[in-house]
Amino acid sequence: MMLMQDGSTHRWIAAPGHDIDLIVMPDDATGWIYSAFFVDQEGTMSTFRGLKETIEAHGLFGSFYTDRGAHYFHTPVAGGPVDKKRLTQVGRALKQLGIRHIPSYPPEGRGRMERVFRTLQQRLAPVLRRAGILTTEAANIYLRETYVPEQNARFGQEAAEPGSSFVSCAGIALDDALCVQEDRQVGRDNCVSWSGRSLQIPEQRHRRHYVKAVVCVHEYPDGRLAIFDGPRCLVRFDARGVPIDEPAPAPT
């Protein structure tokens, strides 16, 4: 079973006054759309969002077909083959989940997604205008609750064989696979530097400090952060970098 993903930049809704990206994940065989949403710009985090929406709702799938954009693959020579040994964050996440990542080379592969977006540009943009939708948030609600179900009912095809190829993702920490992961060395103040912020590691029961140790920072699509030592989560932060999930202080 192969799902595809791509983004299309277009003046989908009038109110923002600029083009935005529509990210779509259709099934190659049936044309069924499993995820669709608007974002300001396509990239690593929008890819993770589409994957998470699909896997949470349906399960893991066999392969993922995309173009060779920089957030999907490292390509040493423009227009040349991708480097399958040097993985992007998306490539690492797919490998972690056991999903095969297939790069698009022939124009026919690109053509399938272009036909999907051509249909959407002809039908979706006018529908959003007629519905009076003026914000990205409202457009995403309309996509999820109204447009995509109607599109699937009208244009989706039955699979050649009965049954489902999706596999349950139960027991998999999906958030911690579909995120940016980077190693960092802890400073002398027991803090990790990340995007101009200093993230403090609190004292752990098993270890008082992590000075000079290497830990792994996770950044999630919604902006939250976490610091891991192997499989152990040491601390989590909200999108502002404020620690969360810490025990409340004892009453005085």
Per-residue model confidence as pLDDT tens digits over 193-213? 999 999 999 999 888 899 999
The secondary structure element, H or E, covering residue 64 is strand 63-66
Q: Are 86 and 210 part of one and the same domain?
A: no
In a domain, 250, yes or no: no
pLDDT at 227 over 90: yes
More confident residue, 248 or 240: 240
Q: Are 186 and 140 part of one and the same domain?
A: no
Q: How confident is the model at residue 66 (pLDDT cuts 50, 70, 90)?
A: very high
Q: Are 149 and 195 part of one and the same domain?
A: no
- Which domain, by its residues, includes 61? 2-155
Distance of CA 55 to the CA centre of its chain: 11
Say what the pLDDT of residue 231 is. 93
Phi, psi of 59 (to 5 degrees): 120, 180
Per-residue model confidence as pLDDT tens digits over 138-148? 999 999 999 99
pLDDT at 97 over 60: yes
Q: Are 80 and 185 part of one and the same domain?
A: no
What does 144-195 look like in DSSP terms, one character per residue? IIIIHHHHHHHH----SSSS---B--TT--STTTSSEEEEEE--TTSEEEET
Q: Are 48 and 39 in contact (CB under 8 A)?
A: no
Which residue's structure tokens are 């009453």?
Answer: 251
The domain that contains 43 carries what CATH number? 3.30.420.10
Say what the pLDDT of residue 247 is. 44
Q: Are 36 and 136 part of one and the same domain?
A: yes
Q: Are 16 and 132 part of one and the same domain?
A: yes
Structure tokens at 62: 């066999």
In a domain, 167, yes or no: no
CA dist 216 and 226 (Å) reads 8
CA dist 97 and 107 (Å) reads 28
In a domain, 162, yes or no: no
At a CB cut-off of 8 Å and minimum separation 6, what does 48 contact? 90, 93, 178, 179, 221
CA dist 190 and 209 (Å) reads 6
Per-residue model confidence as pLDDT tens digits over 31-60? 899 999 999 999 999 999 999 999 999 999
CA dist 64 and 47 (Å) reads 11
Q: Are 55 and 99 part of one and the same domain?
A: yes
Q: How far is CA 30 from CA 85, 138, 201, in A?
A: 31, 28, 48
Say what the pLDDT of residue 49 is. 97
Number of compact structural domains in the chain: 2
More confident residue, 165 or 47: 47
In a domain, 24, yes or no: yes
Say what the pLDDT of residue 250 is. 44
Q: Are 57 and 19 part of one and the same domain?
A: yes
Question: Looking at residue 224, what DSSP letter applies?
Answer: -
pLDDT at 158 over 80: no
pLDDT more than 70, % of the chain? 93
Q: Are 106 and 218 part of one and the same domain?
A: no
Q: How confident is the model at residue 162 (pLDDT cuts 50, 70, 90)?
A: low
Q: Are 166 and 199 in contact (CB under 8 A)?
A: no
pLDDT at 165 over 90: no
In a domain, 170, yes or no: no
Q: Are 115 and 52 part of one and the same domain?
A: yes
Is residue 114 classed as helix, strand or coil in its secondary structure? Answer: helix
CA dist 31 and 27 (Å) reads 5
**Domain final residue, candidates 155, 190, 210:** 155
In a domain, 137, yes or no: yes
Q: Are 20 and 76 part of one and the same domain?
A: yes
More confident residue, 111 or 40: 40
pLDDT at 156 over 90: no
Least confident range from 114-128, 129-143, 226-240: namely 114-128
The whole-number average pLDDT for the span 127-152 is: 93
In a domain, 174, yes or no: no
**Domain final residue, candidates 155, 188, 209:** 155
**Domain final residue, candidates 155, 172, 197:** 155
pLDDT at 20 over 70: yes
Q: Are 8 and 92 part of one and the same domain?
A: yes
Say what the pLDDT of residue 214 is. 98
The secondary structure element, H or E, covering residue 232 is strand 232-237
| pTM of the predicted structure, to 2 decimals | 0.89
In a domain, 112, yes or no: yes
